[in-house]
Amino acid sequence: MPRTIRDVVFVDGVRTPFGKAGPKGIYHETRADDLVVKAIRELLRRNPDLDPAKIDEVAIAATTQIGDQGLTIGRTAGILAGLPQSVPGYSIDRMCAGAMTAVTTTAGSIAFGAYDIVVAGGVEHMGRHPMGEGVDPNPRFVSEKLVDESALFMGMTAENLHDRFPHITKQRADEYAVRSQEKAAKAYANGKIQQDLVPISVRRTSPEGGETGWGLATEDEPMRPGTTLDSLAGLKTPFRPHGRVTAGNAAGLNDGATASLIASEEFAREAGLPVRMRLVSYAYVGVEPEVMGFGPIPSTEKALAKAGLSIGDIGLFEINEAFAVQVLAFLDHYGIADDDPRVNQYGGAIAYGHPLASSGVRLMTQLARQFEEQPQVRYGITTMCVGFGMGATVVWENPHFDGGNK
């Protein structure tokens, strides 16, 4: 029996405020799975017309799937969030693109007709589980020169990208980072971010380890409003002497979680749920692991080709700012100015943080807000580089498009 491919839509997305990883971070005493639970519960609260029993799947990504990020977190978080036990779940790992992969994988199942609506998201508690904890890379990678040894260290891959594109200078990366901080501060001042944040109760401790009471996390901790070029110029380059990558022009080590509702458009409209974005195409591509930041360039080319679109058709870009150099390489390739107003209008990961597997849905929630505000824009993309040499891109259509100019 022939099947009809169904349109897939982004219904809603939320996230926790992102925190700084480590003993001084807001989530030092908070479990990773509890962050996901709060996000799922908030989705249900915001969409009371959705019968939780109709959720077909819970797909949650985590890069380091041990401890409180293990035990098939999609299943356990669903139960902890109060979903009926009939709702299944699973976990995903595609490093930084984990949540993005949760969305696209389940979207394929929706398009096929196996699911009607799912929860898809991600979590990373880098304070509890640093990237690479417990892994054992096969020595053949280096001994047989399958990859350069630097591929195992994300900061070194960013330095390699600077080597490959020497015209992307440290000053240019710093200038981009300052703009990211400024745009994030402006987005907060204009109330663009807070509406999709889930307040999180957090237990606070003193530097000596004693408990000092409870607080409420309501905004992103890593942001550094007021950042200037002068303040960035003197920062250390930890990955290479006299290098170009610093804590100021890269995303930090962070904790946080995201969750979204993805559905068939038919189901969403019948259930009275919002339709915030329509999925057009997506693509994942592998690149040389030692320059993993190059990944969004070929993945975007592939996703655009599948959609029958060109870069000129894209009116809004949400590019994950793992490193400024990675975004700048993308913009240069496509002939887009560093300060193009279509790019990361609310700022990016350099300001908000990048809790690895969760970040893909943050890009989507920000793009969805921009679509609502800008009905003259028809298409936008969410894209990111991925550890060990990959790129990921999703092309979205604005359901509010009014036929205006791109």
Our answer to whether residue 162 is catalytic in this structure is no
Catalytic site residue from 96, 125, 129, 162: 96
Q: Are 65 and 91 in contact (CB under 8 A)?
A: yes
The residue written with tokens 């053949």 in the block is 140
Q: Please state, as a whole number, how many other Cβ atoms lie within 10 Å of the Cβ of residue 363.
A: 26
Q: Please state, as a whole number, how many other Cβ atoms lie within 10 Å of the Cβ of residue 10.
A: 29
Q: Are 150 and 387 in contact (CB under 8 A)?
A: no
CA 310/CA 65 separation, integer angstroms:
37
CA 304/CA 329 separation, integer angstroms:
18
Catalytic site residue from 28, 125, 129, 354: 354
The residue written with tokens 């017309």 in the block is 49
The helix or strand, by DSSP H or E, that contains position 76, with its residue range, turns out to be helix 73-80
Our answer to whether residue 385 is catalytic in this structure is yes
Tokens standing for 265?
A: 């458009």
CA 62/CA 70 separation, integer angstroms:
8
Catalytic site residue from 28, 125, 162, 385: 385
Among 175, 150, 171, 143, CA closest to 293: 150
CA 201/CA 198 separation, integer angstroms:
10
CA 343/CA 324 separation, integer angstroms:
13
CA 68/CA 61 separation, integer angstroms:
13
CA 18/CA 113 separation, integer angstroms:
34
Our answer to whether residue 333 is catalytic in this structure is no
Checking DSSP bridges between strand 390-397 and strand 379-386, what pairing results, if any?
Answer: antiparallel
Q: Are 3 and 242 in contact (CB under 8 A)?
A: no
Tokens standing for 283?
A: 């693509």
CA 163/CA 173 separation, integer angstroms:
13
Positions annotated as catalytic residues are 96, 354, 385
